[in-house]
């Protein structure tokens, strides 16, 4: 079912990885870092009060059918990503800065996708780490291992060894969780969520299942300004903050 869903995805802008790129192994992670990973500007709570106007259809898009978040007390921000996607790697420190300064009424939900066969084990490992409660210890570190240290993982067993070394988790317990029915269901849910929110490339940001930040924005700081604008817009609509 997951593969069938993904065949409906369309192509996207150059600022993201998409499923229509050539199917490869992990060789694309040999990226040349031309800019420091730290963001240019600190994103803080004050930035959420920006009065700058952003245009629907240009800076962001409204989803035809909103996705129900089942969270009435927070604005849920979904980040769709893939570990081997170089754009996701370069966007990670910017998003981390946003998390540090985000308002309390906003929460981030990371969703790993499986656009290509080589992405499957990384989606599986992320959801396993999340289930086992070790994600905080491993998320950024795996990006670094792939894009800075140029490590190669071709099986879930190789990744399990890495997680065991990095987070001190029992390798067999990690594999048992990774190969469970619960994890299979989680992978299907992740891909289905991306399908329902019309995700065509990574990284992609969706606010409350209603608004998708444009992938064509090349300035990452502007991307976060649009994100803040939409988060506040939804918070006001939900009555979490004053109009």
Domain count for the chain? 1
**131: how many CB neighbours lie within 10 A of its CB?**
16
Residue range(s) defining the domain that contains residue 8? 2-237
Asked if residue 64 belongs to a domain, the reply is yes
Q: Tens digits of per-residue pLDDT, 6-25?
A: 444 433 444 578 765 544 44
Summarize the chain as % helix, strand, coil (round to 5): 45, 10, 40
- Residue 180 lies inside a defined structural domain of this protein: yes
CA distance 222 to 59: 9
Distance CA 20, CA 12 (A): 9
Distance CA 55, CA 17 (A): 24
Structure tokens at 43: 């994103």
**239 and 105 in contact (C-beta within 8 Å)?**
no
pLDDT at 53: 85
Average pLDDT in the 212-227 region?
96
Q: Given a cut of 70, is residue 84 above it in pLDDT?
A: yes
CATH number of the CATH domain containing 132: 3.40.30.10
The answer to whether position 68 is within a domain reads: yes
In a domain, residue 242? The reply is: no
Please give the pLDDT value at position 19: 67
> 88 — phi, psi (to 5°)?
-65, -40
- pLDDT at residue 37 is higher than 80: no
pLDDT above 90: percentage of residues in the chain: 76
Each residue's pLDDT tens digit, 121-167: 999 999 999 999 999 999 999 999 999 999 999 999 999 999 999 99
pLDDT at 224: 97
Answer whether 190's CB lies under 8 Å from 120's CB: no
Taking 70 as the threshold, does the pLDDT of residue 31 lie above it? no
- DSSP SS3 for 199: coil
- Inside any domain, residue 243: no
């Amino acid at each position: 079912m997951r593969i069938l869903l993904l065949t409906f995805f369309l192509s996207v802008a150059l600022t993201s990885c998409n499923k229509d790129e050539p199917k490869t192994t992990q060789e694309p992670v040999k990226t040349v870092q031309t800019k420091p990973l730290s963001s240019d500007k600190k994103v803080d709570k004050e930035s959420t009060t920006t009065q700058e106007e952003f245009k629907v259809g240009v800076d962001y898009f409204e989803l035809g059918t909103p996705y129900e978040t089942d969270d009435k007390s927070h604005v849920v921000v979904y980040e769709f990503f893939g570990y081997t996607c170089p754009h996701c790697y370069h966007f990670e420190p910017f998003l981390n800065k946003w998390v540090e300064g985000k308002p309390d009424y906003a929460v981030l939900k990371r969703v790993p996708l499986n656009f290509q066969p080589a992405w499957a084990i990384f989606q599986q490992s992320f959801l396993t780490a999340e289930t086992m409660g070790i994600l905080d210890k491993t998320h950024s570190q795996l990006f670094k291992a792939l894009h800075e240290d140029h490590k190669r993982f071709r099986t879930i067993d190789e990744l399990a060894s890495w997680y065991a070394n990095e987070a001190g988790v029992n390798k067999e317990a990690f594999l048992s969780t990774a190969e469970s029915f619960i994890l299979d269901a989680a992978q299907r849910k992740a891909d289905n969520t991306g399908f329902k929110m019309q995700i065509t490339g990574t990284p992609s940001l969706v606010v409350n299942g209603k608004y998708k930040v444009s992938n064509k924005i090349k300035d990452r700081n502007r991307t976060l300004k649009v994100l803040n604008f939409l988060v506040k817009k939804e918070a006001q609509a939900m009555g979490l903050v004053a109009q």
